Structure 1
Amino acid sequence: MSEYPVRRGLRAAVPILLAVLPALLVPGCRVVENGGTGDVPPVVETTATKQAKPSGRKPGVVNIETEQELSGTRAAGTGIVLTAAGLVLTNNHVIKGATAIKGTDTDNRRTYPAEVVGYDHAGDIAVIRLTGATGLKTAAFASASRVDVGDVVTAVGNAGGKGGSPAVVTGKITALEQAVTARDDSSGTSERLTGLIETNAPIKPGDSGGPLLDTRGKVIGINTAASAGLTTKGAEPKKDHRGYAIPSDRALETARRIQRGEASSTVHIGRTAMLGVKVRSNGRSPGALVAEVVPGTPAEAAGIPVGAAIVAFADGVVDSPTALTSMMLAHHPGDAVRIEWTTRQGARLATTLRLGEGPPQ
């Protein structure tokens, strides 16, 4: 398994005031840094051939738009229809931080408000529900276990976040079992993803969450990250596109778990709890250092100040910002939790508060 740092350039994010100016869209999905009702559909066994032609666009693609009030941005991505009643598979980073979500089915051209059913932060998978949707055309899936290097593929998505008919690009599978460090330009965060399908199809910002199709039009992967470097083949440098997709088998396994309501250490079901602080590493000291307190939140009401270090949450010890996030995801809005923090002067304080509701993480 090889590894590349990758820029996640698959979700388009813009300041609210610039949302109507497509030329000012900024990549907000991760980039390689070096250069309803009804069941989730079963995997259909099929094999693409290297000599076959690209499949072109198939049914079951959704353009997703989100509003992120806390950061003052809008974002756009793609989803894949799982059920006729409106369950849609997408990337977690497409809906991360969203305070409002809407999805436009590209087959019937209708736009629906959407709610988050659940998400896997570590695996970059989320399931949303299009409210009021019925009779949607669903995507067909195939197992990614039978794909091979050289197979022809098609990537479909909301390229550039422009909406309308999905963009369609083609290429070949260039590697399997790839590991990347993916960075989200809109938040500055990064994470490591493994076991990905690599393709030279020119995936663009906005394509996150869209399907990677085999030659029969079956979904074999969920597009999640991309990079475009330069190579010096021949006399002139050429762009070297590398796109990365989560294998369909893994994505569907997570989607089924979410649909069944099975929470875990990485899978969160339903609404997301919020404390109301932005935290960072506390250097060599334990805890999560409070860098900002969001007005009108439980943290502000409890008097947790900027500069405090949160050291305990519920029944757990907080030794890092990541630990605090994981503990938060195990709770839901309205839960009463005990929280402890140390002040800059070294005093240790504690209180019990009820968590508010915030955007998905």
Structure 2
Amino acid sequence: MHESPSGRGAGTAGGCLVVAALVVAAAVALVSVLLGRPLPGVQEGGTVAAPQNTAEEPRGRKPSGRKPGVVNIFTEQGLRGSGAAGTGIVIDPSGLVLTNNHVIQGATEIRGTNIDNRRTYRARVLGYQKSGDIALIRLTGAAGLKPAVLDTGGDVRRGDVVTAVGNAGGKGGTPEVVTGTVTATDRQITATDQSDGSTERLSGLIETNAPIKPGDSGGPLLDTRGRVIGMNTAASAGYSMKQEGSPRGYAITARRALAIVRQIQRGDTSDGVHIGRTALLGVQVRTPTTRSGGRGDGALISDLIPGTPAEQAGLRPGATIVGVDEDTVDSPGTLTDLLLRHHPGDTVQVIWTDRAGSRFSTPVTLAEGPPQ
């Protein structure tokens, strides 16, 4: 469920490239998942260093020019009437690809072009963690791909020379390569999803001054040996990050990203991890306002997606959703979180009020929709 955005513009740091916007409610279902098994090309152990406050000279050799296991990702977002582009990292020869959740959010179709063999594959979402901006997808029919080497235990420190690789600008073709240094580690920033107004606190991030651009999200941040120490994620159209001072790029550590990958492989849905298909309610909502002009509770329906369960159940614009089953809805973001506990085919009781304040309860059977 997303609150109606006013529009989507390019961010100042790396992100997926998005054109236009609409809104869709979603939840997720458990389906068959991969059996947990070690991933090739992963070097484990150790910890990421704490932030360094003193200036340091750049460490390491010259920047890495390697681009192993990079995938250009393109999505169609049929319910939003838009498209998006981003980047992914091959982590298994069978076609497992790590990327940001906001790269595949709202996608009704996903295609990934593997840079090593220049082949384009359809892809499906295996699972994602919205709060951590991490997603795992599979390139359908892929085999024998060259995975990137991920280092989950590298000693990342301020001043380290790094290279960011990605589908900058959504142009496709050979990925763009930019270099810089680590400007801080273990950073915490607030990410705002402009589509539903929700905020997430991302922590443990690597900060870099490498000029990451929209479209780079989900791509690798490499050390001087060409190992992936992080996955680029930063401000994008519809997904912005609050930061002070000069614009910076941020990367989720490889260790954190792979921990979520393994959780998806195990079928573990704790900590906000969602696995398999996503369900659809079909409402466009925003935060209601009080008579005095303040923020009200609930999720005000501003529009409906034609032919979806909400319309078929008789919900109409102007109603305010205040509950799902036994749970209270106090904001559009809460509505999204509650629906994400369900899966296509589930019937939920939607509690809502009309313009006069009368309260109603309507059963709605959720359909299948795009990931959130």
Shared fold, TM over 0.5: yes
Residues 203-282 of structure 1 mapped to structure 2, 5 A cutoff = 203-225=212-234, 242-282=248-288
1:14 aligned to 8, 19, 23, which one?
19
- Alignment of 1:292 with 2:303, yes or no, is yes
Deviation at residue 242 of structure 1 after TM alignment: 1.7
Which deviates more from structure 2 when the two are superposed, residues 143-152 or residues 157-166?
143-152
Q: Secondary structure at the match of 2:131?
A: coil
Which deviates more from structure 2 when the two are superposed, residues 86-95 or residues 275-284?
275-284
Q: Alpha-carbon deviations, 1:282-311, whole Å to 9, x = none?
A: 235432111111110110011111111112
Work out whether residues 13 and 213 of structure 2, in 8 Å CA contact, stay in contact via their aligned partners in 1.
Answer: no
Distance 1:8 1:350, change over 3 A: farther
Unmatched runs of 5 consecutive residues or more in structure 2: 1-10, 22-33, 50-57, 237-244, 290-294
Letter in 2 for 1:96: Q
Work out whether residues 196 and 332 of structure 2, in 8 Å CA contact, stay in contact via their aligned partners in 1.
Answer: no
Letter in 1 for 2:39: V
In structure 2, C-alpha distance between the alignment counterparts of 1:180 and 1:8, rounded to whole Å: 13
Residues 324-339 of structure 1 mapped to structure 2, 5 A cutoff = 324-339=335-350
Number of aligned residue pairs: give it.
Answer: 326
Letter in 2 for 1:263: T
Q: Which has the higher contact order (CA 8 A, sep 6+)?
A: 2
In structure 2, C-alpha distance between the alignment counterparts of 1:116 and 1:324, rounded to whole Å: 22
Work out whether residues 200 and 240 of structure 1, in 8 Å CA contact, stay in contact via their aligned partners in 2.
Answer: no
Deviation at residue 182 of structure 1 after TM alignment: 3.5
Letter in 2 for 1:261: G
In structure 2, C-alpha distance between the alignment counterparts of 1:316 and 1:183, rounded to whole Å: 24
Give the match for residue 52 of structure 2: none
Q: Secondary structure at the match of 1:258?
A: helix
Deviation at residue 159 of structure 1 after TM alignment: 1.0
In structure 2, C-alpha distance between the alignment counterparts of 1:63 and 1:109, rounded to whole Å: 10
The two structures have a TM-score, normalised by structure 2, of 0.81
Letter in 2 for 1:123: G
Letter in 2 for 1:40: L
2:108 aligned to 96, 99, 104, which one?
99
Q: Secondary structure at the match of 1:220?
A: strand
Give the match for residue 148 of structure 2: 139
Work out whether residues 290 and 309 of structure 1, in 8 Å CA contact, stay in contact via their aligned partners in 2.
Answer: yes
1:175 aligned to 176, 184, 205, which one?
184
Which deviates more from structure 2 when the two are superposed, residues 186-195 or residues 346-355?
186-195
Q: Alpha-carbon deviations, 1:148-187, whole Å to 9, x = none?
A: 0011111111111111111111111011122223356788
Q: Secondary structure at the match of 1:319?
A: coil
Distance 1:185 1:106, change over 3 A: farther
Work out whether residues 112 and 132 of structure 1, in 8 Å CA contact, stay in contact via their aligned partners in 2.
Answer: yes
In structure 2, C-alpha distance between the alignment counterparts of 1:188 and 1:320, rounded to whole Å: 9
Deviation at residue 207 of structure 1 after TM alignment: 0.4
For the aligned residue pairs, the C-alpha RMSD in angstroms reads 2.5
Work out whether residues 40 and 255 of structure 1, in 8 Å CA contact, stay in contact via their aligned partners in 2.
Answer: no
Work out whether residues 8 and 183 of structure 1, in 8 Å CA contact, stay in contact via their aligned partners in 2.
Answer: no
Distance 1:318 1:197, change over 3 A: same
In structure 1, C-alpha distance between the alignment counterparts of 2:341 and 2:71, rounded to whole Å: 29
Q: Secondary structure at the match of 1:208?
A: coil
In structure 2, C-alpha distance between the alignment counterparts of 1:185 and 1:215, rounded to whole Å: 35
Work out whether residues 154 and 169 of structure 1, in 8 Å CA contact, stay in contact via their aligned partners in 2.
Answer: yes
Letter in 2 for 1:247: T
Give the match for residue 368 of structure 2: 357
Work out whether residues 197 and 333 of structure 2, in 8 Å CA contact, stay in contact via their aligned partners in 1.
Answer: no
1:199 aligned to 208, 216, 223, which one?
208
In structure 1, C-alpha distance between the alignment counterparts of 2:201 and 2:44, rounded to whole Å: 29
Work out whether residues 226 and 242 of structure 1, in 8 Å CA contact, stay in contact via their aligned partners in 2.
Answer: no
Q: Secondary structure at the match of 2:151?
A: coil
Which deviates more from structure 2 when the two are superposed, residues 351-360 or residues 178-187?
178-187
- Alignment of 1:111 with 2:117, yes or no, is no
- Alignment of 1:59 with 2:58, yes or no, is no
Q: Secondary structure at the match of 2:267?
A: coil
In structure 1, C-alpha distance between the alignment counterparts of 2:13 and 2:181, rounded to whole Å: 20
Runs of 4+ in 1 over 6 A off after TM superposition: 46-49, 185-189
Work out whether residues 40 and 252 of structure 1, in 8 Å CA contact, stay in contact via their aligned partners in 2.
Answer: no
The two structures have a TM-score, normalised by structure 1, of 0.84
- Alignment of 1:40 with 2:15, yes or no, is no
Unmatched runs of 5 consecutive residues or more in structure 1: 1-5, 17-35, 228-238
Residues 304-343 of structure 1 mapped to structure 2, 5 A cutoff = 304-343=315-354
Work out whether residues 265 and 326 of structure 1, in 8 Å CA contact, stay in contact via their aligned partners in 2.
Answer: no
Deviation at residue 9 of structure 1 after TM alignment: 4.0
Q: Secondary structure at the match of 1:146?
A: coil
